[in-house]
Chain A
Amino acid sequence: MKKLMEIALGIVTSVGGFLEIGSITTAAQAGAEFSFQLIWAILLGGVCIIFLVEQSGRFTAVSGRTIPDAIRERFGANYFLFLYVILGIVSLLVLGAEIGGVCIALELATGIGFQYWVVPAAFVIWLVIWKGTFGLIEKGVSVLGLVTLCFVVGAFVVHPPWHQVLQGALPTLPHHDHARYWFIAVSILGASISPYLFFFYSSGAIEDEWDESYVGVNRIIATGGMSFGTLISIAVLILAAFILLPRGIKVEHYSQLPLLLVPVFGRWGFWLLVASLGVACLGAAMEITLEIAYLTAQGFGWNWSENQRPSAEARFSLTYTITILLAAIFVLAGIDPLKLTIFSMALTAATLPVSIVPFLFLMNDQLYVRGYRNSWFSNSVVLLIIGLAFLLAVVTIPLQIFGGN
């Protein structure tokens, strides 16, 4: 019974915590510019993240180690440092985008410019991490994130042509703007296969004290939670394709986002969008902040746990404090949050190989995973993801130039 409750809660938190600024923006842009044609990219990203999250959870449950910790041990300090710098920069940019998303939600709600909200939003994020526990962040904010299910309800309410939606699950070539089409596809993959998701999940498994008996629970949570999460992204795309595309509206600024839900739910739609954007970005901002602090502490061998008092882990607490400060500076510098989001999603896609290649080695190393090694099928999928990651790394920058607008 306890495990069943944990599975239910795990799926709920995964669903509530899935959507963030990157997935909302890229899915909305895809729908507004290419109708249902890019659903396949969201599905592909969803399948990849299911496998990677399941494997990072299984690795931690069996070995009692987090992925970054094992990468440092197995591949040496130099590789870890390389990963740390790349992941650190990308995560900081994504964090900046998420803080920007919280501020935009507050701007939409109050009419006061988003720049004025940067300091209060950063302070609230810091305060919740400082005072709260891992459970509060993981479950509390993620349960609030269930408000994002309004996109799914909206997608059903508008009665889209379902046969066309299903056709979008198969990749097809666009009739116009090829570079733009592929750039959005890459950004969707960057938003879906976020390294912070599986690194955070791995650290969360330690915080939640998972052991070998959680291997099955982990599989159900990873598959169920990420599948439902993917469904929400598809719903955003459907709404954009149904509402924005026929009017010729492209998503180029966050102020256009309420237009996704207002024609469906009226005034409620406006407030549901504000709540979805605010809560999703707030949750993601906390997770990314913690992920950077976890990565730092695990890499340098410091004590770490969100469940301990900050004074017991001063270096861990200092790291997340500095992280929030740096990310807030990005937003305060006046960078357009939407441009920052799209750029950071593309950069995430370009740097994926660094984070994903170690999986193939770690998940087959008996010293860590004993009898829970990857099957030939899981290894084939990881190899495919690595191939995809290298392809993304090569094409992202040219696509950013030619299709990034």
Chain B
Amino acid sequence: MGSTVTTAQSEGRTWDGGNEPLGASYGKLMMWFFIVSDALTFSGFLAAYGFSRFKFIETWPIADEVFTHFPFAHGVELPMYYVALMTFILIFSSVTMVLAVDAGHQMKQGKVALYMFLTIIGGLVFVGSQAWEWKNFIKGEYGAIETKGGSILQFVNKEGERVKLEDFAIKMPNQKEQLTRSGGDWFLETAPVANFSVAEVKAGFDANPNILVRTEIINTPATIKDAQGLNENKELNGIKQKFVLSRAESVKRMETANMVVEGANLRHNEYGSKLFADFFFFITGFHGFHVFSGVIINIIIFFNILIGTYQKRGSYEMVEKVGLYWHFVDLVWVFVFTFFYLV
């Protein structure tokens, strides 16, 4: 068992094995190699995200309008508070991890176990929060219309406040029913049918002259030049806000309606540019998977601490190694937080 921790006693015998480059043992150095390669992977993802975002910068969704949920606060728009809370939780679990490493250096088994336990709890709360965030993202809030050209039309009232489809769409006798596996041959299934059909949304839109279309295009010096049919009320079209159209232009755009979009999946989303949802699922999903793996590894190490494996080994280096990984995952989240929610 002692062989898993190497101690350098190789002065003057560089190539005889047991050497520790940069003062890091074999195991730790391997963790560093993994972290460097993983960092490159995440950098690649974030760079791809950046490129795609700049390509569609004029129609990219505004994060503040997408992530507005907070537990037990229904119907209240609270941009960012929840992700900020998640960030705190992850930073805090990073700190309990350093404290565990610190206690390990002093060979205090009880303290290492306690801090490791807190780290695991933090990780679980974070993964749970992310699942909740995904649920809200997938379910959607307001619903939108996708046009034949693939762009998203959202709906606002005269004051520019978002309106949900269910608030104005007129229910008609249902024409379309979702086919499930239990309803026909086992291999037959249709995509989920939206709560409203295009005809129902259109009927509601025609019956409510106060409903206006909000396009996915952001008001910038570059886009304002070609913008047509903007609402007469200038206050609805602030700088760096999405364009709100006049009623006449709204009616015209609604003629191109192709499908109703509620929430998000990999092909359609109600927020705007389709790639937005793809990157959101991919990058936060990949990060969440890292946190999840970290929690599993932490749990294994936690039990090893409890049964005294590392106490007998005389070193808590395993805690240090998983600590490196855990800090790295925290570091990645700091960047994801900035580029998905802040910038």
Check if A and B associate.
Answer: no
Write the residues of chain A forming the contact surface with B, with a CB cutoff of 8 angstroms: none
